[in-house]
Structures are given as C-alpha cells and as structure tokens.
Structure 1
C-alpha cells in the first residue's frame, strides 16, 4: 500500500489524486503545516517538506516525481510508454518550471499570505507571467486536445492540472483561455479528482 505523508490541503493533494486515478491502494499519513512539520517529516523527506511517499522499500519526495512513480505502477494509458511517455515527462517538467512558479507568486499575494503581507505588484506580475504560460497551453489544447496528449487522460494532465488547482479554485481569470478552462473543469470533475477534492475541500 502507498503511504502518502502530508495532508490533502497541501501538494499531497496531487499524489492522492494520482493514486485515485491509478487505482492504487493508499493511506494518508497526516503530517500538517506548523512548528512540528520538520521534525515529523524529515525522517522521510530530508528537505523537511510534504508530501513524501513510502512504497515498500522505496521512499520518494517531490510531488510530481511521486506522481510519475504512481503512474508507472499503473502503466498505460495513465502512464504511456515511448514517445507519449516522453511527452508526459515534458508536460510534468513544464508544470514545475513554467507554470508553478508564476501560479504561486500570484497565489501567495492574492489569497495565501495574510492580507497585510500581500504585494499587489507581485500578484499582478505573477498573473501576467502565468497568463503567458496559459497562452502556450491554450494553443496546444486548441491544436489537439481535449487532453494534453490528445484523446486520453494521462499523468501529464493530472500533474499539470494539479499544479494549476489553486488558480482554478481561486478564480484566476481564465476567460482569455477557454480551452484551458474547459480542460481544467473536465480534469477536476473526473471521479478520481472528485475523490481527492473531497479530502481537500471537505
């Protein structure tokens, strides 16, 4: 059984969703934010952050790497081989390097930090940078779709959509990106995503 260390209201949400999509049995080992976080998680993740995964003798950190591992356990179609497997890796790294930094800059200065610590200029800059990335995604989905690799949902969709969950749930302006909005709505309303969202939002 997969042991996911973290809480659903963290990046562990991504791993819970992935496990649901993969049909893998899992348990969530509740490790939350706060002063005891590093002491609780460091034996599993030396970075002192959540989530982390135990799968038998394998211990992993980094949520998107965990998801790739979970996808590999399920195999195709969630984690395809060959060229499509390379495309899953491409979109996963794009999520981490292109989408997430911009989304988090916007999020921290829009709803995560206390109001008196938010910087509207940083929020605006993050939103503008994220919009540039979403324009790339919009064009890609318009040329193919409805999913990142075409007609079937893969771990690429789970990984990128989960990175964009905060923007989607907190009303980032997706009006200029109708294909992206349709894609996100479809992703987050899949049965596996709804099961993960119930843990996060409930």
Structure 2
C-alpha cells in the first residue's frame, strides 16, 4: 500500500507532487532526473517505456496502478486521493470534474508549447542561447488563449468565485497554473490580462507551491 511519485520538481513532475502536497498525502518521492540517463534504466523503462517523468505508482487493495503523463497523474491523485466533498482540490461534483478535465486538456493544447518557449528564451536557457524573436512570437500567440482564460475568470468573479471551477482552489487551477507560471518572465503579457495575473499570483503563492519551488531549487 502506498503512493510513489518518480520525477523531480524542476520538471512536469511538479504537477502531481504539488497535488499530493496540497492534499497532505503521505507518499514516497523518488527524485528521478530526466537528464544523464536517469529515465533510461531498465527499471524505469519497465514503469514508463517512453522514458519520461513523472510516473505515479499507487499500490491499492485492488491492485497496483501505474500511470504516466503529468496531467493524468495529477487528475488521478485529485480524484482518487482527495476527499471529493468540496473541502480540498478534488472535484466535488460532475461540474467541477468537467472543469478540471476541460482546463487541463486546454492547457496542454493551447498554452504549454508557447509557455515553455517563453520560459526557455526569457529565463531558463543561458543568455547566449536565448532567441528573443521566438519568445516574442510565442507571447503574441498566447494572447489568443489568454483572452479565453481572462473572460472565464471575469465571469467567475461576477459569481463571487476566484478560481476556475469553484470558489476554492481545485485541481483545475493547479494544472493550469503549473503551466501558465512559465510565462512569468513575460511581464507585459500577463499585465495585459489583470484577472489572469491576479489569479496566477494566488495559485503560485500557495504554501504547497512554495514548497515545490524550494524542492526544485534543491534538486536543480
């Protein structure tokens, strides 16, 4: 019995790690880097033949579950380890579950590639390797999906709700913020969408996310 998450916080593995930390779960974290062959051992490839992190292993009374893909791992943790009663990040009803699925898939399809380009070419890569024109093009493209997110957050605010799926922070917020946070170096971009900028700040200021940032620095 028990939950194990393979990966490092300075990667997409931060998503399930953040979710498990938000829920206060007892779990084993195996810091598996994506560099230097860490995901190419026979043991790891037996868990994920793609050779990518994260991997989640959940040893349950009805059998062992092995799951990869960061968004899938995160949604699984929320659904199967959260209370589901409206007191934590787990969906409490069909509406919240639908919102979690919608915004997570939307994030992968509409945000992730361009947000990663911004992160790499504004901050993560050595200065001599950055290409400003790639970051600028990505930021321009991001205006389209961010208008969608901004409008949704404005509608939520009109209902007295400060988050994507409910009045409280849920896995929908976690999955989306885990990617949109990569755009923080593009200050002008975020300032164009004030509701989105304020929502992102609330998500990233959460203690569990702060713990993930500290862990990422340790594992870097």
State the 1:179 CA deviation: 0.9
State the 1:195 CA deviation: 2.4
Listed as ranges, the gaps of 5+ residues in structure 1 are none
Give CA-to-partner distance per residue, 1:123-178, whole Å, 9 cap, x none. 1111111222212111111111410013121110010001122223x354311111
Assess if the C-alpha contact under 8 Å between 2:55 and 2:69 holds in 1. yes
Assess if the C-alpha contact under 8 Å between 2:57 and 2:67 holds in 1. yes
After TM superposition, the structure 1 stretch with the greater mean CA deviation from structure 2, 110-119 or 81-90, is 110-119
State the 1:91 CA deviation: 0.5
CA RMSD of aligned residues (A): 1.7
Instruction: Tell me the distance in 2 between the aligned counterparts of 1:118 and 1:196.
Output: 26
After TM superposition, the structure 1 stretch with the greater mean CA deviation from structure 2, 185-194 or 110-119, is 110-119
User: What TM-score, normalized to structure 1?
Assistant: 0.91
Instruction: Work out whether 1:183 is the aligned partner of 2:199.
Output: yes
Matches within 5 A, 1:72-87: 72-73=79-80, 74-76=82-84, 77=86, 78-87=90-99
Three-state SS of the structure 2 residue aligned to 1:39 is coil
Matches within 5 A, 1:9-158: 9-40=10-41, 41-56=44-59, 57-73=64-80, 74-76=82-84, 77=86, 78-144=90-156, 145-158=161-174
Radius of gyration: which is bigger? Answer: 2
Instruction: Tell me the distance in 2 between the aligned counterparts of 1:13 and 1:166.
Output: 12
User: What TM-score, normalized to structure 2?
Assistant: 0.84
Number of aligned residue pairs: 201
